[in-house]
Amino acid sequence: MPRKMPFQKYKAFQPVALPDRTWPDQVISHAPRWCSVDLRDGNQALIEPMTPDEKLKMYLLLLELGFKEIEVGFPAASQTDFDFVRLIIEQDMIPEGVIIQVLCQAREELIIRTCEAVKGARQVIFHLYNSTSTLQRKVVFNMSREQVVQLATDATAMVKAHTDVLQAEGTDVILEYSPESYTATEMDFAVEICDAVMNVWQPTVAKKMILNLPSTVEMATPNIYADQLEWFIRHLPQRDKAVISLHTHNDRGTGVAASELGLMAGADRIEGTLFGNGERTGNCDLITMAMNMFSQGVDPELYLSDMPKIVAVSEECTKIPIHVRQPYAGELVFTAFSGSHQDAIRKGMARGESAGVWEVPYLPIDPTDVGGSYRETVRVNSQSGKGGVAFILESYYGVSLPRPLLLEFSPVIQKLSEGGGELKPDTIWQAFTNEFVDVEGPYQLIDYKVVANGERQVCEARVKVGDNVIDIRGEGNGPIDAFIAAMVETLNEPLNVIDYQEYALNEGSQAQAICIIAITDEEQSKFYGVGLSQNTITAAFGSIIAAINRKWR
């Protein structure tokens, strides 16, 4: 009998009857209003909540990234949050155009305390919430729909009364209301309670309030969330006086998808966190969502060019490592190990942008747009091919190998990689020099001199052959020719150069020359040798000695 999971224990979420839904045809063409809840929802979910210094560090990063709305805490529930809100207000650390947001439950003493926290701020979003879900009404609060509406409207009236004082003192207050667990609330009830809150707050078209519709626990596929939102927006009586905000969680792994489809369904604003840190499986990951827009040619209106810094600050403040496969930010997300992917990337890169548009197979975006480098796109292990090795030698060492040499070198790397794990560039380079440069064999060049003899060049060299040091002499059209003549004539070493290339490896006075040479012997067998030196002639002679030693190996 195959073993079964106890799936009968669970019931399916009921889809929404909305056959004339329009959201599937919408395209995300502009950025929403972003609101970071890293310092509240994200912070609440940490094993070790952020220290004041860490909160500040995260806050400064959020400002740097361009967030204009930042939920800075739950000041009535936490003294650290209260102190942090006071700090940024008193130290004048809220730039023009940035609005702080504070969360508060529907209880008068908490509302009063929250007002104390935000006193003196230029502008504030007062985020009021209460649970509206069918299950919570029944199991947790034992309240009827009417009682829950009463609770929400009473709390709104309290917020209005207490913030009137703040408004009189010059603080502009915007109300945000969240029917918590919106997705688990009957749709008509969600509209009813939001409308009731609006009637108390009395927003206008010019001064809207925010209705935040959380998927507090993600319960269904994202299309169902989009249906719920389209239904809500169609039925909300005063849609033109509300900013529709989304706040998704990621229990099913589709927090970003839900927010994206929610935008298509007509939402205006998105709450979430960097890399999705938040309760349980997290919140909507704003980095992924913004970068998804970017990769579609839409301005994300967040500045995410220094991803390594965003990762570093986030890891430091949350003490949660960013996964190597985290979209757009993980260590491996722009890396190919597989040979066929590496070849495609190499070809795509060599072709470059097409009419200014990025088109490289396997790389949805240019890694340099987020502070990455092309070097990281290819790494070598046992899955990789010669393309990967060529890419590493080219990008790290500036060495471009002729194809036959690459074919010879490839099995060396394959064998090394079979030991398991990744072959780092320095290991590949070492293997390359062992194989083609510092080749053990009968010959070793001790020193040489090349002098002109009219149009011709004369090379006199001392070569160690086994245990003997032998003086050799030859003449030719150039130094290489003369050295070969010396080897052939004095040492009776028949060789014929069939391929030769020499170029500088890096710029500046320390530039190294590389000489790659291929010789054939009397049986027409071909041997490559490579020489490396700051001196081009030494590099060339070295490559010849290496090639002959490889022949004798």
Q: Which residues bind ligand KIV (CB under 6 A)?
A: 41, 103, 129, 178, 180, 212, 214, 216, 247, 249
Count of residues that bind Zn ion according to CB under 5 A: 1
**Shortest-Cβ-distance residue relative to Zn ion:** 41
Q: Which is nearer to ligand KIV, 285 or 493 (CB)?
A: 285
163 binds, among ligand KIV, Zn ion, none (CB under 5 to 8 A by kind): none
**Alpha carbon distances (Å) from 328 to 141, 222, 255, 279, 349:** 42, 22, 16, 22, 18
180 binds, among Zn ion, ligand KIV, none (CB under 5 to 8 A by kind): ligand KIV
**209-215 and 172-180 as β-strands: parallel, antiparallel, unpaired?**
parallel
Q: How far is the CB of 212 from Zn ion (least distance, A)?
A: 9
Q: Which is nearer to Zn ion, 41 or 230 (CB)?
A: 41
| Distance between CA atoms of residues 306 and 369, nearest Å | 8
Q: Pick the closest to residue 124 from 170, 172, 156 (CA basis).
A: 172
**456-465 and 526-533 as β-strands: parallel, antiparallel, unpaired?**
unpaired
Q: How far is the CB of 145 from ligand KIV (least distance, A)?
A: 19
Binders of Zn ion among residues 72 to 131 (CB under 5 A) are none
Q: How far is the CB of 103 from ligand KIV (least distance, A)?
A: 6
Q: Which is nearer to Zn ion, 35 or 392 (CB)?
A: 35
Q: How far is the CB of 170 from Zn ion (least distance, A)?
A: 31
Q: How far is the CB of 505 from ligand KIV (least distance, A)?
A: 56
Q: Which is nearer to ligand KIV, 31 or 104 (CB)?
A: 104
**x/- site string to Zn ion, residues 7 to 46, per CB under 5 A?**
----------------------------------x-----
Q: How far is the CB of 317 from Zn ion (least distance, A)?
A: 18
Q: How far is the CB of 249 from ligand KIV (least distance, A)?
A: 6
Q: Where are the beta strands (DSSP E) in 318-402?
A: none
Provide the angle, in degrees to the nearest 10, between the axes of the packed helices 536-552 and 479-491.
Answer: 30
Q: Which is nearer to ligand KIV, 178 or 342 (CB)?
A: 178
What is the side-by-side strand order in the sheet with 513-520? 496-504, 513-520, 526-533
Number of alpha carbons in the 13 Å side-chain half-sphere of residue 296 = 14
Q: Which is nearer to ligand KIV, 279 or 460 (CB)?
A: 279
| Cβ count within 10 A of residue 414 | 15
Output DSSP code: residue 493: -
Bridge partner list, 175: 126
Is residue 343 near Zn ion by the rule CB under 5 A? no
Q: Which is nearer to Zn ion, 38 or 41 (CB)?
A: 41
| Distance between CA atoms of residues 468 and 475, nearest Å | 23
Question: Tokens 């749709």 label which residue?
Answer: 187
Q: Which is nearer to ligand KIV, 212 or 549 (CB)?
A: 212
| Distance between CA atoms of residues 508 and 510, nearest Å | 5
162 binds, among ligand KIV, Zn ion, none (CB under 5 to 8 A by kind): none
178 binds, among Zn ion, ligand KIV, none (CB under 5 to 8 A by kind): ligand KIV
Is residue 71 near Zn ion by the rule CB under 5 A? no
**Alpha carbon distances (Å) from 382 to 367, 395, 404, 427:** 24, 20, 21, 14
Q: How far is the CB of 330 from Zn ion (least distance, A)?
A: 24
Q: Please, which contacts does 327-330 make with residues 24 or more away whose CB atoms are closer than 8 Å?
A: 327/285, 327/287, 327/288, 327/291, 328/287, 328/288, 328/291, 328/304, 328/365, 328/370, 329/275, 329/287, 329/370
Q: Which is nearer to ligand KIV, 273 or 457 (CB)?
A: 273
Distance separating the N- and C-terminal Cα atoms of the chain: 62
Q: Is residue 348 within 8 Å of 359, Cβ to Cβ? A: yes
458 binds, among Zn ion, ligand KIV, none (CB under 5 to 8 A by kind): none
129 binds, among Zn ion, ligand KIV, none (CB under 5 to 8 A by kind): ligand KIV
386 binds, among Zn ion, ligand KIV, none (CB under 5 to 8 A by kind): none
The dihedral region occupied by 266, where left means phi > 0, alpha psi between -120 and 50, and beta the remainder, is left
Output DSSP code: residue 388: H
- Residues of this chain that interact with Zn ion (CB under 5 A) are 41
